[in-house]
Structure 1
Amino acid sequence: MKFSSSLKFNAVSEWWDDYISYDALKKFIYQLEKQQHGDTLPFRDIEANEEETLLGHGTRSNTDVLFEPLLNKETQKIVSFYQSQEKELLEEVAELEELVAKQEEEGFDGAERYLDDPYADEASEDDESVSRSPDATHRRRNISTSSRRNNLTGSIYEPRNTSRPHRLSISSSSSSTADPDAPPRSPTTMAKLANTFGNLGTLSNSFTSAAVPDTIWTAKGDYAYDTRLLFKRKITKIYVALSNLKSYVEVNHSGFRKILKKYDKVTYSELKDRFMHHVIERAYPFLPETRERLNDAIQRLIDLYTKCVTRGDRQLAIQQLKLHQRENIAWERDTVWRQMIAQQRRGDIEDEPTAMGTLLKKPGPGLFYIPTPLGTIRVTKKMIYKIVAGAILITLLNVRVVDVSTANRCFAILVFCTFLWATEAIPLFVTSMFVPLLLVLLQVIRNDQGEVLSRSAATKWVFSNMFPPTIMLLIGGFTISSALSKTNIDRVLVTKVLSLAGSRPSTVLLAFMGVACFASMWISNVAAPTLCFTLIRPILRNLPPKSAFGPCLILAIALAANIGGQSSPISSPQNLIALQHMDPPLDWARWFAVSLPVSGISILLIWGLLLWSYRPERAPDGEGTIEVKHIRPTRERFTPRQWWVSIVCLVTIGLWCVAHEIEEYVGDMGVIAIIPIVAFFSTGVLKKDDFEHFAWTIVFLAMGGIVLGKGVMASGLLEVVDVVLRGWVEGLSLYAVVLILSPVVLIISTFISHTIASVLLVPIAKEVGSNLPGNHQNLLIFITGLICSAGMGMPVSGFPNQTAATVEDDLGELYLTNVDFLKNGVPASILATAVVATVGYVLMLAIGV
């Protein structure tokens, strides 16, 4: 979580203006960065609210001169606020200690006087704690009326009736929830606390029953009970306030450290250590003796709570006070969390669930609306897609398209799922879950003798095929990706490589493309572009307005990440689906022998295309060239944990490369994938939460795709398709089939998910290859898998394109348009496909695929 968001969630709402102005300081840092990079335009001083220019001050040495006054101003603000709060709270602690001591002296002696006139002291006493209480005026006004209601419990105080004994009791809302161990008091002491928290109800005249040889803190009578309850509330209130003040110090200390770290990183300065040591650590709130004083006050409150409430049990006192603190935090911040979550949920109305309970609601965005007695039904595009998908399934189940009944039912399932995958009417992984459900219910699966399996036997067959070794390979890939990201190895390696690129736009462009491609091989082509887009933000901020280098760089990263999706077996699900259908599956060494040259050549060709299309080195005004902000490598040294992760990853990848040679010892690549899982989770590198955050939707998507392919074969549908395909490829050479198959795969993978394209096309490629002389099914499967990653001509073609299409500049405008993707993504897709169909084809033949 970003610190600005963390600050928002951890701040006390009433003190918000007195925290460090983190966002304002961050904006000022970015202004300094622009000046440092040569931009001499005037800008607005955030703190002074006036325009000025930094011309002549934009050097590295002088940025400190501009930034330190802002930090000093923030420091003074925090010191002033802390001192006032500390003084007030410490006085309240001292006053509370006096009240406790006085109550102990009075014991039960003041109880009778309190019953005679419980409000006598309120009228005359000017209690400082009452004047500070926001509800004090309200409570005094209620007490002076003939009918008094307690602010805290809601109990009613009736006027005193002298004609009969006045028996008072604590309201049910109080007695049912309060701690039975709460304190009593004399008229003066009770009046003070009653003034602060509201009278709990007049005391029972049975207080005399508690007048036994016992202390006020342990007695069982009503008077003792009410006394302890009022003291408990007073102690709790001050404890929560002191805890908030302690948190205030810690949050602001972190804020200064974070903002100074960002300042040093952006401006290449070294202010952090000096300012933290000479200013922050010597400021009053951050002094060791100040923290000791605050902790001492908290301990004194715990002692009072132990004495007054928990009968000497200090551990119980600590536990209850911390519980009160957590409840206060939850209560105070509940609104903020609700608002933040609501904003996230409102992000995409189209993705709202469409169960009957949510269909009948107030009209929202939709194609049209149908009024009903129960409400208005909002008809959306996705709802229509779902209705059409259901109609397709029902129609095909009742129409004989294929002669074999099981094959006909499988064809209906195939078209139904394909339609849902293509339209994304429901999440892709949910569609995958339809596959095992329908295969079993519609009895599609046959055994080797052609007999239809019972639903019980079909269930075992389906689930045994849903978790093949390649699924464990995918989970192993997620584990490696998570470990590299969590230990920051990916960022360290990427920044070191990019620091060598210099400031020439063409070189920087190629460096980022190489890094995005390589990162996609190991941390997935979903996370890799996100990482790269984070790293280029300083570059984008310092570019001249309307510079072509910005959109060129963003699109280059997206296209390179797509190419990276074909480079290793674990970089994308389509590769794993291809491996699953190969017989025998390729080991990593032979995969790399083809994919790395193909990816490298594709990157170079796309780089040349983008240079020709955007001319990124040219300045926006057409005169001169631009320079790119140099990326500074991280100064952090590799930690033992990072070395451990690196060694485990290298060993695992090495074993994957020689999996066929050691098959006798390890069985399959899926077993090797367990090594990083055990190594990282058993040593604490990854935690349970990391495992829960794996992309399980992709896992289930791959599972559904694999079992659908198996079902197509087991139902006999592939045998029917085989007859058609045999006629198509009869008399054609292997390379002619490659040239026909390649554009078909490219077109389909451009408009639907790459993974879904592989689910649909890999079984066809396998069947076509089996019908060719020499059985080249593995070669066609390999080509199909690689080309599925090359479909990148549209904004929706793959995760990298979708991410790139959402990148905005400082004004909230998108860098890329649909024209950018059509103008550059379509040619890039054709170039990458041509490389696979030529260079890749030759290399596959060379290694004997």
Structure 2
Amino acid sequence: MPQPAPETLLEEGHATSGLGQRIGFFLGLAIAGTMAWLGAPDGLNPKAWLALCLLALMIVWWVSEAIPVAATALLPLCILPMMGVLKPVEAAAPYADPIIFLFIGGFMIAAAIEQSGLHRRIAIHVLLLVGSSPAAIVGGFMLATTLLSMWISNTATALMMTPIALAVCQAAAPEGPHRRSLMAACVLGVAYCASIGGVGTPIGTPTNLIGARWLEANGVGLSFPQWMAIGGAIIAIMVPLTWFVLTRIAYRLPKHLGDDTARAVIAAEARALGPISRKEGRVLVIFLLVALAWIFREPLSKLPGLSGLTDMVIAVLGAVALFIVPAGDKTNPGKGLLDWDVAERIPWGIAILFGGGLSIAAALEQTGLSSYIGAQLTGLGALPVLLVVLILVGATVFLSELASNVATLTAMLPVLTAMVAGSGGDPLMIGASATFAASFGFMLPIATAANAIAYATGAPQQREMLRVGFFLNLCGIATIALAVGLIGPLIRN
């Protein structure tokens, strides 16, 4: 199966053509330079305007990938101190924010799961449970993808599940339109559920961590269970709805289509795995302990000696344990479940991207830009809260079709702050809505790496993705607004 180049997958984003990159490079410079030449509007701190010029440059470069996104995220480190907006230590501090180490620890755990092969075993056994009729095949892959992407990178989940889906579909149906329909429904189901499942936990996708950090900064700290209450509701609505759209509307699959053969392929994959290895078992134990600690962190932190327990501490402890616990390799008894050769291949660039986004956000906050924008948005206070949320979610969803989910939410952070200040809206409603919406780009192959992987198989056609994705975008907008609007007030009480 043809796959996008690895460097386009690390941020769960998109790849831009060489011409688009060159245009974006000079366009970003032109926009930032023009803004600087025009000067700050009346009533705005000149330093805030300079920070906004830098943000405009970074947004254009992030969207166009004029240079690597992590390299763009380094600009606040040098530009903000040079312009006198922040001191060097103030510009650098966000790059060491605890949420970045939560991300690093989570990705190390995910790397160990993938290296051990545990992720493949989980997926195949889920498929054995759901059956092998065409609709069940699609549903099984969607369910397995959703469960995995709650804990593992959306991109890694899609890369792991898509080849298995293609193999099962090829075995289940003879050459012809039925096979293509089944393959298209399967790979799109995998791609969409990789994004949907990612919203289920705070570590499911990098945007969740960015959103969680913004919520904390605005006085709303969501615990692991609270986050899962909202994300789980979104998953509970969107996954069945997506399955129905793919199997009953977009692709009308027959009730029976070589299902015995398909089940035989899945069973053969399960037999080939053999019994669970020591390494898989030990990784599974650590993973479960970390997951349970995240879920029950609040009561655990009340125990003696654990008052400083945070999600970041749990993640890093789990990652360190992977280097300490032996893998059970008889030829190399001292080898741990995770080694640094594997750990250093996690997307470190995302950590830098986090830092850059947090640094520019800190500059905009400290220079008073958020307050200024908030004053310009006081008119939003007259609108119903649900309408404000719908407008915000809709804008974020369709923006994420053109930019990576991380870049989309990072660019939205100052707007969110201004909306809270200007409309007096609930930070939970506004922040959580935008965070979930940034992951819901279903229309275009460039929207997410998972979409690109599905499109690269050749099974779904561009017009099919546009049609199905547009409808699912609308469904996602309504679902997010509903889940956050109904569950948000309950978990705060």
> Do they superpose with TM above 0.5?
yes
1:847 equivalent to 2:491? Answer yes
Contact (CA 8 Å) 1:524, 1:572: kept in 2 or not?
yes
- Give the CA RMSD over aligned residues: 2.4
Contact (CA 8 Å) 1:656, 1:672: kept in 2 or not?
yes
Q: Hey, what's the Cα distance between the residues in 2 that align with 1:506 and 1:766?
A: 44
Contact (CA 8 Å) 1:753, 1:798: kept in 2 or not?
yes
Contact (CA 8 Å) 1:769, 1:778: kept in 2 or not?
no
Q: Deviation per CA, 1:801-838, whole angstroms, max 9, x where unpaired?
A: 0111112xxxxxx2222112101111112112211111
Q: Hey, what's the Cα distance between the residues in 2 that align with 1:538 and 1:399?
A: 58
Q: Hey, what's the Cα distance between the residues in 2 that align with 1:787 and 1:614?
A: 23
1:659 equivalent to 2:300? Answer no
1:748 equivalent to 2:399? Answer yes
In structure 2, list runs of 5 or more residues that go unmatched.
9-16, 326-335
Look up the equivalent residue of 2:312 and give its one-letter code: G
Kindly state the Cα deviation for residue 667 of structure 1 after the two structures are TM-superposed. 4.3
The match for 1:569 among 194, 202, 217 is 202
Look up the equivalent residue of 2:452 and give its one-letter code: Q
1:558 corresponding residue in structure 2: 191
Q: Hey, what's the Cα distance between the residues in 1 that align with 2:298 and 2:220?
A: 10
The match for 1:821 among 455, 460, 465 is 465
Kindly state the Cα deviation for residue 537 of structure 1 after the two structures are TM-superposed. 3.1
Q: 1:484 to 1:424 in 2, by over 3 A?
A: same
Q: Hey, what's the Cα distance between the residues in 2 that align with 1:733 and 1:380?
A: 43
Q: Hey, what's the Cα distance between the residues in 1 that align with 2:340 and 2:132?
A: 42
Q: Hey, what's the Cα distance between the residues in 2 that align with 1:606 and 1:763?
A: 32
The match for 1:736 among 372, 387, 397 is 387
1:702 equivalent to 2:354? Answer yes
1:535-684 aligned at under 5 Å gives the runs: 535-542=164-171, 543-545=173-175, 546-547=177-178, 548-582=181-215, 583-618=219-254, 625=257, 627=259, 629-630=262-263, 631-632=266-267, 634-635=270-271, 636-663=274-301, 665-683=307-325, 684=336
Contact (CA 8 Å) 1:467, 1:703: kept in 2 or not?
yes
1:113 corresponding residue in structure 2: none
Q: Which secondary structure state, in structure 2, belongs to the residue aligned with residue 665 of structure 1?
A: coil
Kindly state the Cα deviation for residue 785 of structure 1 after the two structures are TM-superposed. 0.6
Look up the equivalent residue of 2:277 and give its one-letter code: T
Q: Hey, what's the Cα distance between the residues in 1 that align with 2:487 and 2:158?
A: 28
Q: Deviation per CA, 1:759-811, whole angstroms, max 9, x where unpaired?
A: 122332233234455x611221111111111122111111210111112xxxx
**What TM-score results when the alignment is normalised by the length of structure 2?**
0.87
Q: Hey, what's the Cα distance between the residues in 1 that align with 2:168 and 2:401?
A: 30
Q: Which secondary structure state, in structure 1, belongs to the residue aligned with residue 487 of structure 2?
A: helix
Kindly state the Cα deviation for residue 689 of structure 1 after the two structures are TM-superposed. 0.3
1:430 equivalent to 2:71? Answer yes
Kindly state the Cα deviation for residue 482 of structure 1 after the two structures are TM-superposed. 0.8
1:294 corresponding residue in structure 2: none
Look up the equivalent residue of 2:487 and give its one-letter code: L
Q: Hey, what's the Cα distance between the residues in 2 that align with 1:496 and 1:384?
A: 47
Q: 1:661 to 1:764 in 2, by over 3 A?
A: farther
1:480 corresponding residue in structure 2: 109
Kindly state the Cα deviation for residue 401 of structure 1 after the two structures are TM-superposed. 3.5
Q: Deviation per CA, 1:533-568, whole angstroms, max 9, x where unpaired?
A: 121232233232232111111111101111012111
1:525 equivalent to 2:175? Answer no
1:398 corresponding residue in structure 2: 37
1:151-300 aligned at under 5 Å gives the runs: none
Contact (CA 8 Å) 1:521, 1:571: kept in 2 or not?
yes
Q: Which secondary structure state, in structure 1, belongs to the residue aligned with residue 122 of structure 2?
A: helix
Contact (CA 8 Å) 1:587, 1:658: kept in 2 or not?
no
Kindly state the Cα deviation for residue 629 of structure 1 after the two structures are TM-superposed. 0.9
Look up the equivalent residue of 2:283 and give its one-letter code: V
Contact (CA 8 Å) 1:552, 1:610: kept in 2 or not?
yes
Q: Hey, what's the Cα distance between the residues in 1 that align with 2:84 and 2:491?
A: 41
Q: Percent identity?
A: 23
1:359 corresponding residue in structure 2: none
The match for 2:365 among 689, 713, 726 is 713
1:277 corresponding residue in structure 2: none
Q: Hey, what's the Cα distance between the residues in 2 that align with 1:575 and 1:586?
A: 11
Look up the equivalent residue of 1:675 and give its one-letter code: L
Q: Which secondary structure state, in structure 1, belongs to the residue aligned with residue 130 of structure 2?
A: coil
Q: 1:780 to 1:661 in 2, by over 3 A?
A: farther
2:24 corresponding residue in structure 1: 385
Kindly state the Cα deviation for residue 502 of structure 1 after the two structures are TM-superposed. 2.1
How many pairs are equivalent? 454
The structure where helix makes up a greater share of residues is: 2
1:464 corresponding residue in structure 2: 93
In structure 1, list runs of 5 or more residues that go unmatched.
1-343, 351-366, 368-378, 446-457, 808-813
Kindly state the Cα deviation for residue 584 of structure 1 after the two structures are TM-superposed. 3.7
Contact (CA 8 Å) 1:552, 1:616: kept in 2 or not?
no
> Which is bigger in relative contact order (C-alpha 8 A, separation at least 6)?
2
Q: Hey, what's the Cα distance between the residues in 2 that align with 1:836 and 1:711?
A: 30
2:62 corresponding residue in structure 1: 421
2:329 corresponding residue in structure 1: none
Look up the equivalent residue of 1:837 and give its one-letter code: A
Q: Hey, what's the Cα distance between the residues in 2 that align with 1:820 and 1:698?
A: 31
1:123-142 aligned at under 5 Å gives the runs: none
1:685 corresponding residue in structure 2: 337
